[in-house]
Amino acid sequence: MKNFSDYIVYVDESGDHGLQSLDPHYPVFVLAFCIFHKRYYSETVVSELQKFKFRHFGHDLVILHEHEIRKEKGDFTIFKSRGHKNRFLDELTDIIDASHFILASCAIEKNKLTPQQVESENPYHLALGFCLESLYQFLAEKGQEDRLTHVVVERRGRKEDDELELEFRRMCDGQNRLNKTFGFDIRFADKKANSAGLQLADLVARPIGLHILRPEQPNRAFETLKQKFYCQGGRQNVGLGYEQWGLKRFPQKSEEPR
């Protein structure tokens, strides 16, 4: 039996990864890796989210989905007023704030890509490479890079999943900018899977995109996430030094795109 690492990773995205059309209101693609310590995740995060669901819905079968909450669809037609919805969102933000996890993310600013990059790059695969590198560096800091770490992503469709798995394994086999072999395994979860980790990853991705697009706009959710980003300098530097570490942007302003 392989030695498993102490960490589990849940992945979600915000925005369209395609380059054929550009949404003028949201021309970014964000990939977010939420890295949890397994014991803490199972003992604390899962139970906190379940208690939240019991309080608001009376059962724990609801799947928290940022888009549906924002648009008040499906289970999220419960809000009696704007104030009710805001209290719901504030409580959810407090849970994210109190939860311990490391965030490794990448934002692809599709509207800033050159015609050559549009022709040759897949934003999802590009973001995946950056996030896997950050994940490896984090695990190396913890002395866990030689153990097997599972990376859980949501199913999107047979073709997309097959392409993603191929790209994932290619990068893990050493075709990455670190020239390292990554001990990661990808697991696909059904969209209906009631996974606390996937739901939290879904909730954090869009605030990152909004921060990239409108950094001057108040964004309480992003302010909460600043304390979670993988950053240069370890725990002493939490909330600082995360640009191009836990929050990678492509293309970069300060240098030619890699």
User: Residue 96: pLDDT above 70?
Assistant: yes
Q: What is the mean pLDDT of residues 98-102?
A: 96
Give percent of the chain with pLDDT exceeding 70: 93
Of 204, 14, 177, 203, the residue nearest 109 (C-alpha): 14
pLDDT digits (tens, 9 = 90+) for 112-127: 888 888 777 788 999 9
pLDDT at 253: 65
Mention every residue, 6+ apart, whose C-beta is less than 8 A from residue 231.
237, 238, 239, 240, 241, 242, 245, 246
CA distance 153 to 173: 19
Count CB-CB contacts under 10 A for residue 70: 12
The two beta strands, 102-109 and 148-154, are unpaired
- The secondary structure of the chain as a DSSP string is -PPEEEEEEEEEEES---SSS--TT--EEEEEEEEEEHHHIIIIIHHHHHHHHHHHHSSS-PPP-HHHHHHT-GGG---SSHHHHHHHHHHHHHHHHHS--EEEEEEEEGGG--HHHHHH--HHHHHHHHHHHHHHHHHHHTT-TTSEEEEEEE---HHHHHHHHHHHHHHHTT-STT-----EEEEEE-TT---HHHHHHHHHHHHHHHHHH-TTS--HHHHHHTTTB--TTGGGGTTSS-BTTTEEEES-SSS---
Is-above-0.75 flag for pTM?
Answer: yes
pLDDT at 178: 94
User: Residue 191: pLDDT above 90?
Assistant: no
Q: How far apart are the first and last CA of the chain?
A: 38
Count CB-CB contacts under 10 A for residue 144: 17
pLDDT digits (tens, 9 = 90+) for 14-56: 998 777 778 889 999 999 999 999 999 999 999 999 999 999 9
User: Residue 165: pLDDT above 50?
Assistant: yes
